[in-house]
Structure 1
């Protein structure tokens, strides 16, 4: 019997490469990962859009590769930015039939800011009518120096649906990883490892779950996590398939279960072997004697959401309550990442007349406390990918608090934008409804002025507001007090008929050839 030999990796790669999959919404990032993994994630996405950062790992020819699947919708900019910061390679997916789009350019910018090499996957090459030369020119114009034009950026043509070009793409990833000379990083002294939090959620059954990437050393089940709020014992390490693991190595994406809090996304955690060490280091961190991460501390710019929130606060301080209207919001989402994205999108709707105030926010289902907070502040409760328990819904109905829950972020944004538009002061516009041409002007004994007219448009009605139109110039403003036909007072005069029009206040300069324009005020 022949010996069974494990596949040997032909590439000299020291640790698992991390690949962030980026690109514009609906360009097929998740479908491409489906093809790579041989699974189907897309069917489980609401609206077909990846709402949260996902991480996956495959074994290709004896070499592990970790993938971070980031959302393509514009609202999830901060998630894509985090993906670029912790990755070794950016895999930029561009649809052959749609070309370079806003989030394509943004992903390129993130990769360049993080000094990360880019591999382009032109997806949907099975679609007829594509123009690949034009697309490559667009990529070049967007700042990518592709190999075909003498640069270093590899371009692979693939079809996620047909599963074409997948092996060639994986070979390109491993070849790029080898050129990058990716090395393992030792954990800081006295620690087992460090990890970067990609996403945190509050799971109904498991409690707080943190999806992390191991950045140095390793993580073992039963070890202790040191985080900003303190420390926690790792109860379970779980991979993407729900399988429990004893150890996670550098470059591995892993779910940590057992942490007491929903940790902030984009932050680091340290891993130590025992509670005594965890307690001591946690105390030093709380006292400011030690940084949470010593081996690989990053100085990150504040994310745009915080800048926008600060700007909104400044605007609110600069105006009185009478000058600006506010829509108070209690916001709950399923994860820290989506909380950031939803807050950003809502605050981005602010203008000089109407602004959103997120008075309370958090991760997890909508609760009775949220309804009570909203009632006290005359706020609405917005949920994104979270449940509204029946008892909470009943309380909201009883207390007349509006609770809305959404599964797709742009549906939430559109509905709130409509609500804000309805709160803004309406713009009023004069709308012409009738017009009469002055043929002769009469002055009565009591000095009243009567305009002898022919109605040339619509029906002139007693009580209408009017102005005088003299060769395109608007003059005077008055109200029709009398309409006369053949010495009889009437209520209205139709187009083509003659009449006498009296209005107050009168206009002494009225002359033949002027036109009396009847109008109404409408909101636009």
Structure 2
């Protein structure tokens, strides 16, 4: 019977429904069968009828319900066009084949399944937001979201609240609220604190589309970090320069791009390129043009007496003689003063009475019945020897400023004062030549007061001693003042250690090799010591003092000449003694490598300049004068090169192919012959065969003993390379006093007011301030005779082929064009 079959079905295992097989069309029926299948058999009971008691009066195990409540469909956002829906959707039409009478208990209690054929795009499980079109089933909700988000966007995010595809344990929702951050509607903002590093989103900006595992938030944070990293570094206010550098290094130093540096400098007239290596001087100019302050540390070679002392020397300090530098203007009597003190004739050995390089001498002075020693450094007074004077000041203890009483303060006098003040050494003024009738010591004191040196008798602190170097007046007083100041300074050193000091001078001797004059500032120097001076290495073979005697050792404050160096050191280099030759060689190799790198960078920086010079020379805009300079000592080389660099070189460029101390050799002649250079020798000799080679190759060798003549001849040679210029030479002034018609033209009767007038020369006819004619004078007559010229005070007749409009009162200027040798100019 049907009742038994229904009871049997209820007691049998529940059928396992198949997904995607449920009939969706209303009115479709499954074939009647008692066997459980994926599609339950539709019973004859009416639809949605309440469950009735069985025939035996028993109540079914499942309570009779009208219909289990179904979850409300979620407002799923469809990006594609949604299907048409009936105006009055009926829940009964969705599943007509399944009834409450036929469904087993397990099926009724199971959570409802959502058919997968209906949604067009499955919702990602981890996404908490979807994009919704404005025209949706819930227009009120969409309008509310749109009003909150702003009026610009047409597609706004909407949180899905009832999506049935979310596989979430509903029992743990309240216990673990963080697990449902992508399913429920927007969580309350106060319950989710924002990280401090994440700034709020600006109003009106679209939110980033969320992705898996919060990728959108990470991307937004990464974007903010990237923007923060793009902040341009602040330009420093002050930078420190240690040497030459490339354009890239300069850009990194000042925190400005290379292109911007080049563009700014180009607008200011400084042309550089991105591959150029800039020397220290150019870097300083470039950085200053950018408005940045430059801090240039002092080089290590600028040795001072305080740097020579170490902490270990304080226990063994002993008094040492003072080192005195004699400074002043050229020809003010510095060497003569030293000669009078030493009782020798040093000045007679100097060419033209001018000191050419530093000499170091020591003298014995009787002070209070005790013999004390004073070491003198004689520096040149010529303006070319600025570097040598500066070196002498940096190693001195007391400076003697010599001022001629009949000349006064001169440029080198002011320079010497500045050197002494910069070095911080005491200054004593020796007013020389007071024995001359035109001497004015008071005027000299007044001029020195204007330079900041106030004499003691005027209430100042500067010691001023009037002396006469020739007659020897007041020399004892000057020496007493030197020793007095020395005692006040408490000059001391440690003689019980290895020597340290400064190279005063160095040169290459053809018989003895490299020779260096050293001033010992601390320690004791001995024969056989391993010494490093700058990048030069050597083992002392012999030492000679200022009197020509060989010595075995030299104590602090004394100057000696040494032999045994492998190369000529540079004047001003520090020297030191090392225990072994291996240690000394390591130090010398390191310094030599640094100097090679510096020279290479300087050569690269000059490459662009030299190439542009060559291009201008090929075009005829710039000429070159090639020179080879050989001098007696390194100080003379530096002085001559510095003086030549001061000459104007905008039209004629000096190319110094070689500048070194030593004699002129055949190699120098070969170099000059190959490059068309002129060899200049200063206080040096010619090697054997050099003169014959010069005659054979046609090389010009110029020898000098006074720097004035050298500079004048070089300047004359540069001016000789300049093209002569055509200049106007004034001849005379003529006045027109009568006009005589001649044929078709006219002739002016004139009177020569000044100078003269010449035929076939040029004239300029002026009427008032207006120039009527400027051309050649074709006809010049006197008393009807053709003449070549007429001088002032005579009458003459003047005629031209191209001008006949003469009037009385016209003024004629006679002149001629001549070629004149040009001179060097800075323009």
Q: TM-score over 0.5 for the alignment?
A: yes
Instruction: State whether structure 2 residue 325 is matched by structure 1 residue 34.
Output: no
1:242-281 counterparts in 2 under 5 A? 242-281=548-587
Partner of 2:355: 50
Q: 2:669 aligns with which of 371, 382, 397?
A: 371
435 and 152 in structure 1: CA distance in 2 versus 1, 3 angstrom threshold? closer
Q: Tell me how far 1:103 sits from its aligned partner.
A: 1.4
Q: 2:417 aligns with which of 108, 111, 125?
A: 108
Q: 2:458 aligns with which of 135, 140, 149?
A: 149
Partner of 1:405: 703
Partner of 1:301: none
8 Å CA contact 2:746, 2:804 repeated in 1: no
Instruction: State whether structure 2 residue 759 is matched by structure 1 residue 454.
Output: no
145 and 395 in structure 1: CA distance in 2 versus 1, 3 angstrom threshold? same
Q: Distance in 2 between matches of 1:388 and 1:313?
A: 33
Instruction: State whether structure 2 residue 385 is matched by structure 1 residue 76.
Output: yes
Q: Distance in 1 between matches of 2:647 and 2:377?
A: 29
Partner of 1:477: 774
- What SS does the aligned partner of 1:235 have? strand
Question: Any stretches of 5+ residues in structure 2 without a counterpart?
Answer: 1-316, 595-601, 821-827
Partner of 2:3: none
Instruction: State whether structure 2 residue 691 is matched by structure 1 residue 393.
Output: yes
Moved more, 197-206 or 44-53: 197-206
Instruction: State whether structure 2 residue 428 is matched by structure 1 residue 131.
Output: no
Q: 1:234 aligns with which of 526, 531, 540?
A: 540
Q: Tell me how far 1:73 sits from its aligned partner.
A: 1.4
1:105-504 counterparts in 2 under 5 A? 105-184=414-493, 192-286=498-592, 317=613, 320-321=616-617, 322-389=620-687, 391-433=689-731, 436-438=734-736, 439-440=738-739, 449-454=745-750, 456=752, 462-471=759-768, 473-482=770-779, 490=786, 492=788, 494=790, 496-499=794-797, 501-503=799-801
Instruction: State whether structure 2 residue 316 is matched by structure 1 residue 19.
Output: no
485 and 131 in structure 1: CA distance in 2 versus 1, 3 angstrom threshold? closer
Partner of 2:364: 59
Q: Distance in 2 between matches of 1:58 and 1:484?
A: 83
Deviations 1:424-479 (A, max 9, x none): 3434322233555443375965xxx5443335267655533332233355443222
Q: Distance in 1 between matches of 2:420 and 2:609?
A: 32
Larger Rg, first or second structure (1 or 2)? 2
Q: Distance in 2 between matches of 1:435 and 1:127?
A: 52
Q: Tell me how far 1:333 sits from its aligned partner.
A: 0.5
145 and 420 in structure 1: CA distance in 2 versus 1, 3 angstrom threshold? same
Moved more, 410-419 or 457-466: 457-466
Q: Tell me how far 1:147 sits from its aligned partner.
A: 1.3
Question: Any stretches of 5+ residues in structure 1 without a counterpart?
Answer: 1-11, 289-305
TM-score (ref. length: structure 2):
0.54
TM-score (ref. length: structure 1):
0.84
Say which structure is richer in strand. 1
401 and 150 in structure 1: CA distance in 2 versus 1, 3 angstrom threshold? same
Q: Distance in 2 between matches of 1:422 and 1:395?
A: 26
Partner of 1:515: 811
8 Å CA contact 1:455, 1:494 repeated in 2: no
Q: Distance in 1 between matches of 2:659 and 2:545?
A: 29
Q: Distance in 2 between matches of 1:493 and 1:15?
A: 82
Q: 2:398 aligns with which of 82, 89, 109?
A: 89
Q: Tell me how far 1:484 sits from its aligned partner.
A: 7.1
Q: Tell me how far 1:271 sits from its aligned partner.
A: 1.2
8 Å CA contact 1:186, 1:217 repeated in 2: yes
User: How many residues of Structure 1 are paired with residues of Structure 2 in the alignment?
Assistant: 485
Moved more, 511-520 or 331-340: 511-520
Q: Distance in 2 between matches of 1:451 and 1:237?
A: 91
Q: Distance in 2 between matches of 1:22 and 1:369?
A: 38
Deviations 1:284-324 (A, max 9, x none): 54566xxxxxxxxxxxxxxxxx9xx98x9689749822223
8 Å CA contact 1:434, 1:517 repeated in 2: yes
Q: Tell me how far 1:409 sits from its aligned partner.
A: 0.6
Q: Distance in 2 between matches of 1:142 and 1:43?
A: 33
Q: Distance in 2 between matches of 1:431 and 1:403?
A: 38
178 and 426 in structure 1: CA distance in 2 versus 1, 3 angstrom threshold? same
Partner of 1:6: none
